[in-house]
Amino acid sequence: MPAARPRFALLLRFVLVLGMMAATGCKDPKREAELLQRETAAAAKEEAQAKRDAELAKREADLAKEQEAVRTQQIALEKRFQEVEVRLAKQEQEITQRHKELDRMEAEMKAAKVLYETKVKRGPAPSITSERVIVINAENDEVLFERNPDKRNAIASTTKIMTAILLIEAGNLDKEMTIETSDTICAPVKMGLKAGEKYTRRNLLTALMVKSSNDIAQALARDNAGSVEAFVAKMNAKAKELGCADTLFINPNGLPPINDQPDPYSTPRDLVKLAAIADKLPDLRAMVKLKTYSFTKGDGKTIVLDNTNRVLRTCEFCDGMKTGYTGAAGHCLVATGERDGRRRIVVVLNGSTTGVWKDAEALLEWALKS
């Protein structure tokens, strides 16, 4: 169609020329031939230019198609590349997950092997008579033995482990404090403190953990929180913070309830949590390992306190921690010990007069075999 236009233009010019010639009455054949020749040449140029324009337009259209095809291919390649990247990332994630699973299985197999070999080496747990018991590995809290570990009942003076934790966390153990009259009013066992006497908190706390004097527990609690009642609130808040849901304290010394107080209670599982925390406190470790402690009273007289924990004297690897007794709790003992880098904690509650020591020592020795 574009090529027809130059021919039409040539014909139109030819007709116009003839018309002009007819109108002017030109009869010169040579001039007419020249005019016709020029018009023919002009038409040929226009036709050639139109042809070139058409070829150029076609080339541009072809180039645009090629560019579009290239863009389409590029988009397709980019999409495929992204799909491959996603697939590879997923495969790498799966491989990593498989490696982790294999590592976990390998670790479990090694742990199971160690546990089996340890149990074989340690042998069966000893026969005991105490009602509520738990034994743990102090390094990882693994339970090695338990009997009625979640049974609630009184825990007597092992309560003082929580008292000691709060006092040591508060700090200023070497600061001096003054005994008040209210501190001296409590049931035995008592140190016989007198109002107006001055002691450092460290001296009193050491005497508390060695000899378990109830008047000392009251004095330290009042000094720490302003009143015994406020200190007991701190004890129960700390128990809740530590996840000891089966524990209720009513005083800082573990004595039975008076007046309208509820019965205090805890479990071997909760108590061993407290013991594990206390076992990590250097100040407390230094106190509970003492077999005796020389305590200077307010009148200047020094008395030697024997530790109430008999296992300290009968078992060479025992190094703590706290005894207790009430009618409800029976004879109680939290005992710690270490041998060849292995550390264990034993909790014995509701034991008999002699059974508590035998059970604690036998369990400690058994647990430390491996």
User: What tokens appear for 223 in the block?
Assistant: 């000094």
Q: What DSSP state is assigned to residue 159?
A: G
- Which member of 65, 79, 130, 157 is catalytic? 157
Our answer to whether residue 127 is catalytic in this structure is: no
Check 51, 90, 130, 160 and give the catalytic one.
160
The one catalytic residue among 58, 65, 182, 212: 212
DSSP letter for each residue of 2-57: TTHHHHHHHHHHHHHHHHHHHHHT---HHHHHHHHHHHHHHHHHHHHHHHHHHHHH
Contact 187, 227 (CB under 8 A): no
3-class secondary structure, 291: coil
Could you tell me which of 153, 142, 125 has the C-alpha nearest to residue 324? 153
182 catalytic, yes or no? no
Under a CB-based contact definition with an 8 Å cutoff, are residues 182 and 196 in contact? Answer: no
Residue 247 · residue 264 · CB < 8 Å: no
Chain centroid to CA 118: 28
Residue with tokens 């209720």: 248
132 in helix, strand or coil? strand
Cα 49 vs. chain centroid, distance in angstroms?
83
Active-site residue 212, yes or no?
yes
DSSP of 304-347: EEEPS-THHHH-TTEEEEEEEEETTTEEEEEEEEEETTEEEEEE
For the annotated catalytic residues, the residue numbers are 157, 160, 212
